[in-house]
Amino acid sequence: MKYGESVFVIEKEIISKDEIAFLIPQIYKLLHVRFGHRHWWPGDTRDEIMIGAILTQNTAWTNVEKAIKNLKKVDCLSLDRLASTSRSELEKMIRPSGYFRQKAERLMNFARIVLDYPDGPDAFFHHSQNLDEIRDRLLNINGVGPETADSILLYAASFPSFVIDAYTFRIFTRMALYDGKKDYMKLQKLITDNLELDLDLYRDYHAQLVELGKRYCRNRRPVCDTCPLNELCPKKGA
DNA sequence: GTCCTGAGCA
DNA sequence: TGCTCAGGAC
């Protein structure tokens, strides 16, 4: 490297509002070109998506798939069937997803709360309410944190609530768009402030970030040379 | 700090 | 075969 060249390579300390406003939609465009439209969430029904959202907490999706398969086998991929299963049976079936005792308890508790909601689950998620109202109701359920709540809202209940996860923190930190301290609402606001409010865009953007985080922007040994965001990333190769 | 598994790698 | 690792909520 020639003397002085590093000036252009060194990570920028400050990124202007205009740069952020350009980069956040641009990142999506590049990911979409590389990966194509993702059909997310993997799951057919609202119940299945909600169950998957709880099972995948701090867990790789491949492990969740095994649990889902076990539940499907005995037709337990719905809240009402779940609520009428014995705890020990449920624990056995969801064991591959990890934290099986915690998750069994959380699933049964979640199912009961949603099923027992006045006028039922449809009323719980009815679009006549505002997003924050339902979000708060979800967050008040034991075992439902911000990521799980937003996953349920976005993919199961069709509310435009942007999902932030470990991949999102990692990618946006490496892209120098975020300061690195894990503040869920702060990163969510940064992204949504610079993105068109659109259900399908929110769904696909998060899906694209998951794909990037798994295949390129990995925690260890990131694959920067062929990363679709390579030319935009100040950390490439680092 | 605690709760857990399966993939990946030596 | 035995280790480390990745991954949310409380």
pLDDT at A238: 61
- Residues A55, A98 within the same domain: yes
Number of compact structural domains in chain A: 2
Hey, what are A73's tokens?
Answer: 């086998």
Residue A17 CA and nucleotide B8 C1' are separated, in Å, by 40
Residue ending a domain, choose from A156, A180, A211: A156
- Residues A121, A135 within the same domain: yes
Residues A173-202 as b/e (b if ≥16 CB within 10 A, e otherwise) read bbbbbbeeeeebeebbebbeeebeeeeebb
Residue ending a domain, choose from A125, A156, A187: A156
Residue ending a domain, choose from A156, A188, A215: A156
- C-alpha–C-alpha distance, residues A189 and A210, integer Å: 19
Residue A208 domain flag:
yes
**Tens digit of each residue's pLDDT (9 = 90 or more) over A106-151:** 999 999 999 999 999 999 999 999 999 999 999 999 999 999 999 9
Residue A190 CA and nucleotide B9 C1' are separated, in Å, by 37
Q: Which nucleotides in chain C lie closer than 7 A to a protein CB?
A: 5-10
- C-alpha–C-alpha distance, residues A202 and A163, integer Å: 8
- Residues A27, A71 within the same domain: no
Residue A220 CA and nucleotide B9 C1' are separated, in Å, by 13
Q: The dihedral of CA A131, A204, A60, A87: what is its sign?
A: positive
- Residues A122, A183 within the same domain: no
Question: Is the separation of the CB atoms in A54 and A143 below 8 Å?
Answer: yes
- Residues A152, A51 within the same domain: yes
CATH code for the domain in which residue A180 is found = 1.10.1670.10
Q: What is the largest CA-CA distance in chain A?
A: 71
Q: Which domain holds residue A70?
A: 46-156
Higher pLDDT, A179 or A97: A97
CATH code for the domain in which residue A52 is found = 1.10.340.30
- Residues A75, A143 within the same domain: yes
Question: Is the separation of the CB atoms in A38 and A204 below 8 Å?
Answer: yes
- Which protein residue lies nearest to nucleotide C4, measured between its Cα and the C1' atom? A220
- Residues A178, A132 within the same domain: no
pLDDT at A26: 97
Residue A237 domain flag:
no
Hey, what are A62's tokens?
Answer: 């491949």
Within a 13 Å sphere around the CA of A223, how many CA atoms are in the beta-carbon half?
9
Question: Is the separation of the CB atoms in A81 and A75 below 8 Å?
Answer: yes
pLDDT at A237: 63
**What is the rounded average pLDDT of the residues A81-104?**
95
Give the single-character DSSP code of A101.
H
